[in-house]
Amino acid sequence: MNLKAVTPLGAALIVTFGCSLALLLENLYLFGYHLDLESAAFLGNYLADRSLPELVFDPARNDWKLYQARELSYFFDCLDARFIGWSIRHGWCQFYTLSGFLMLTAAVFVQQYGIRTLYPKLPGWIATLFSFAYVLTPCVAGNGFFRSSKYGCALTFTIAVFLTFALFRGRFRRWKWKVAGIAAVLLGATLFDRQGAFFAAAYASAAGFFLLLTLWNRFPPLSADARRILCSVTAAALAVVLTGTFYNLAIGPKLIYACNGYVPDFSYQNMSGLPPEVLPFGGRFLFRNIGYSLAGVTGFASTLAGSAAAAALLALLFFGGLKLRNRTILLAAAAFAAALAGCWVAAAGMVGRHPAVLVPAVMFSLYFLPGWSLLLPFFAPAAETVRKLGWKVNPVGFVLTVTAAVHLGGYLLLHRVNPVIEHQRAYQEAMPAFRRALADPGYDWRHDRLPVRLQFLIELFRSQPK
């Protein structure tokens, strides 16, 4: 698809509209989606007859008593639950996440506008394929009601990466707004999820490390304007980390106590005492997800494919930057290495706190969405590097084509959706009876032996006025 005839903004809007249709079709493909053990409990919590602050500042009910300072995601979860409740009362029984769909659509627009303005000489079909491959990957597709935290991180990570790319490429016009934008999305990511808080800390650390290299060794050489901007970015990221920490330790607990009368439990945030084997397990989570997202393979093949793809992308950026003597590409290589290392450490921490993420049915789901949204944008500078090197065939375009084709074929030919998690099977098998009970107030569901949480939701919806 070549959209050279229109402006970058117009092309971005056209592709975003196409990708949003793809997301909608993926959702319709799941026939209204389903509830599982956790999402059924969350839905009941957010539809309770309490005030909005009481619903949002309540990790005991919204997060199994595990305080993670992600109340911003609870706010969007509450809006999603209210939308689900409204649609059910009006005859449409669905369990999608509206905020997730809107955030992914916004992320696609950022991708498209960022690629087409920062890398205008890239072929239009590569830019277009970039986002279609993104929305077809399993961790992005199928936006069922669960948590908005991962979608919020996906959007904020995408914005932060492309704003950083803009500064890498010397787009210093209105640089203060770009720095402010980076700070805003880092703060949003921090309040969305612990992954977002880790990303903000990693971003501040990477910026600070690069600043020290620049100030101490004058390597790589930067202009006075670039050094000033780098100082501002580092200060802004550090301010976000401090603000997020203050919210986590002081503001959040006080708001929770004021709204619901209890002090949250910090034990889930304690990362001390994790066994050293979480690090290789984190690598397995990361590289298997990269391999599965790019090629649709599982098991050791996904680890091999993911490792090879990450190594090839890093080598292309690094050696391509050296050959071209292009500082912008070398900066992208350094940023990709930092992002990859950060994703690895974050995955290790996630495995240590929630070992179930290593189960394939869980591993290849929403948990990798933030990491995928962070790493995939580096395909853009990689494609630009290939273009500058003058290669006749762009391997980045080939990889994106394979990714889109594999996952599209999975939907159309194999009728493949995310695999069933065994302990959630009872909820999925109960969905037809559950939907019928919601649609028909006269239907007697008691002989269907529904899970207790679904029984509670039926009574809840039937007690609400139309």
- Asked whether residue 127 carries a pLDDT value surpassing 60, the answer given is yes
- 428: nearest Cα among 412, 450, 457: 450
Average pLDDT estimate for 19-36: 79
pLDDT value of position 212? 87
- Asked whether residue 1 carries a pLDDT value surpassing 60, the answer given is no
- For helices 379-389 and 395-412, the axis angle rounded to 10 degrees is 140
Candidate from 21-25, 184-188, 219-223, 253-257 with smallest mean pLDDT: 219-223
CA pair distance 258, 460, nearest whole angstrom: 27
Cβ atoms 352, 278 nearer than 8 A: yes
In SS3 terms, 158-181 reads as: HHHHHHHHHHHCCCCCCHHHHHHH
pTM of the model: 0.94
Determine, yes or no, domain membership for 85: no
Determine, yes or no, domain membership for 145: yes
- Asked whether residue 35 carries a pLDDT value surpassing 90, the answer given is no
Mean pLDDT (the chain) is 90
Average pLDDT estimate for 249-270: 96
Give me the percent of the chain exceeding a pLDDT of 90. Answer: 69
Give me the percent of the chain exceeding a pLDDT of 70. Answer: 94
Determine, yes or no, domain membership for 90: no
Of the two residues 31 and 437, the one the predictor is more confident about is: 437
Determine, yes or no, domain membership for 458: no
Determine, yes or no, domain membership for 298: yes
- What's the pLDDT band for 262 if we cut at 50, 70, 90? very high
Q: At a CB cut-off of 8 Å and minimum separation 6, what does 399 contact?
A: 294, 309, 379
CA pair distance 363, 380, nearest whole angstrom: 26
Cβ atoms 77, 42 nearer than 8 A: yes
Per-residue pLDDT tens for 380-398? Answer: 999 999 999 999 999 999 9
DSSP state of 422: G
User: Could you identify the residue written with the tokens 């209210």?
Assistant: 82
Structure tokens at 431: 């969905």
pLDDT value of position 373? 97
- Asked whether residue 273 carries a pLDDT value surpassing 90, the answer given is no
pLDDT value of position 464? 77
Average pLDDT estimate for 436-461: 89
pLDDT value of position 2? 52
- 374: nearest Cα among 406, 346, 402, 403: 346
The amino acid sitting at 383 is: A
Per-residue pLDDT tens for 76-96? Answer: 999 999 999 999 888 888 888
Region class of 297: left (phi > 0), else alpha (psi between -120 and 50), else beta: beta
- What's the pLDDT band for 454 if we cut at 50, 70, 90? very high
- What's the pLDDT band for 220 if we cut at 50, 70, 90? low
CA pair distance 159, 181, nearest whole angstrom: 8
Cβ atoms 132, 21 nearer than 8 A: no
pLDDT value of position 409? 86
Q: Based on the structure, what is the number of domains in the chain? A: 1
CA pair distance 279, 376, nearest whole angstrom: 22
CA pair distance 269, 253, nearest whole angstrom: 14
Cβ atoms 191, 244 nearer than 8 A: yes
- Asked whether residue 401 carries a pLDDT value surpassing 70, the answer given is yes
pLDDT value of position 319? 97
- 161: nearest Cα among 195, 114, 202, 102: 114
Long-range contacts of the stretch 269-274 (C-beta < 8 A, 24+): 269/67, 269/68, 269/194, 271/349, 271/352, 271/353, 274/348, 274/349, 274/352
- What's the pLDDT band for 367 if we cut at 50, 70, 90? very high
Cβ atoms 407, 142 nearer than 8 A: no
CA-CA distances (angstroms) from residue 234 to 208, 240, 306, 336, 384? 6, 10, 31, 18, 27
Task: Give the chain's length.
Answer: 466
Average pLDDT estimate for 63-68: 92
Candidate from 150-154, 218-222, 344-348 with smallest mean pLDDT: 218-222
- 285: nearest Cα among 371, 400, 161, 201: 371
Determine, yes or no, domain membership for 440: no
- 204: nearest Cα among 234, 182, 229, 181: 234
- Asked whether residue 427 carries a pLDDT value surpassing 70, the answer given is yes
Per-residue pLDDT tens for 308-343? Answer: 999 999 999 999 999 999 989 999 999 999 999 999
* ∠ CA 406-106-157, rounded to 5°: 80
pLDDT value of position 423? 62
CB atoms within 10 A of CB 120: 12
Determine, yes or no, domain membership for 401: yes
- What's the pLDDT band for 240 if we cut at 50, 70, 90? very high
Residues of the domain holding 327 = 8-33+96-263+275-419
Of the two residues 216 and 358, the one the predictor is more confident about is: 358
- Asked whether residue 371 carries a pLDDT value surpassing 60, the answer given is yes
Determine, yes or no, domain membership for 78: no
- 454: nearest Cα among 365, 436, 30: 436
Average pLDDT estimate for 11-34: 85
Per-residue pLDDT tens for 276-302? Answer: 889 999 999 999 999 999 999 989 999
- Asked whether residue 42 carries a pLDDT value surpassing 60, the answer given is yes
